[in-house]
Amino acid sequence: MSASLQGKVIVVIGGTAGLGLSAARAFLAAEARGVVVVGRNVESLATALATLGRSATGLAGDAADPGTAVRAIALALERFGGFHGLYHVAGGSGRRHGDGPLHELTDDAVPATLAINLHSVIYSNRAAVRQFLAQGGGGAILNMGSVLGWSPSPKFFATHVYAAAKAAIVGFTKSAAAYYAPRGVRFNVLAPALVETPMAQRAAQDSAILDFIASKQPLDGGRIGRPEDCDGAATYLMSDSAGFVTGQVLAVDGGWTVSEGQIPD
């Protein structure tokens, strides 16, 4: 039996494209009462809302702005009369800012990469917890991690600040899970490997990386993940079926963390 989100209202930070949009669709298919999606791009937001239909609303905002999640939760309460879960998907590569191997790292890469991948998670989780405590009924928080936080790939994915941020999400989530468990607030992490999203375009167009992925992510013939590969796990962790699950990290990785991965010649 698939997990049900019947009657729940969920905010998806980074929900207008890729993994977040796919999850929003899945949440509605699982009978969520409403979904609020947040993204930086106004056009992507409009397209997402047209796709999701009447049970969705959203706003444009930067996930690294402390006020964005606050506004999204307020919108959930106003539009759908409740707030039961937060799924934080927003993040991104810091390559354009100079993230990479440590000896090549630029000064700009550190704050920029941490802002979108770590600070944004802390801000959104804070906003969600404050609302859950005010409501007094608990809730679910799911943060997007990455297998690169503990299972590196030095040849093809050597962005060290990004890896640090994703590793920090695990520690942050577990610490918060322990603290808020008595209050009924659950925190978990979903950690994909390489998934075909707008962020992954560089990798998806590199034949050497695709050859590597064929053995590094060997499930289903050896392929890049699809956003929908993560939907079932996200739906489960946001649902009451996972009501006894907190502080956990679930890798949806096609076998990445248990496979050697052959570097092509």
Locate the domains of the chain by residue range.
Answer: 9-198+228-258
* Structure confidence at residue 162 as a pLDDT band (50, 70, 90): very high
The per-residue pLDDT for 263 is 83
Cβ neighbors of 265 (< 8 A, separation 6 or more) are none
Residues carrying an active site annotation: 162
DSSP-derived secondary structure for 224-257: -B-GGGGHHHHHHHHSGGGTT--S-EEEE-TTGG
Is 9-198+228-258 assigned to CATH 3.40.50.970?
Answer: no
User: What distance in Å separates the CA atoms of residue 101 and residue 222, rounded to the nearest whole number?
Assistant: 27
Pinpoint the alpha helices (H) of the chain: 18-29, 42-52, 66-80, 109-114, 120-135, 160-180, 201-204, 207-216, 231-238
Average pLDDT over residues 92-120: 97
> Is residue 201 over pLDDT 80?
no
> For 173-187, what is each residue's pLDDT tens digit?
999 999 999 999 999
Average pLDDT over residues 20-36: 98
* Mean of per-residue pLDDT scores for the chain: 96
SS3 category, 56: strand
Sign of the C-alpha dihedral computed for residues 18, 20, 24 and 30 taken in this order? positive
* Structure confidence at residue 241 as a pLDDT band (50, 70, 90): very high
> For 48-59, what is each residue's pLDDT tens digit?
999 999 999 999
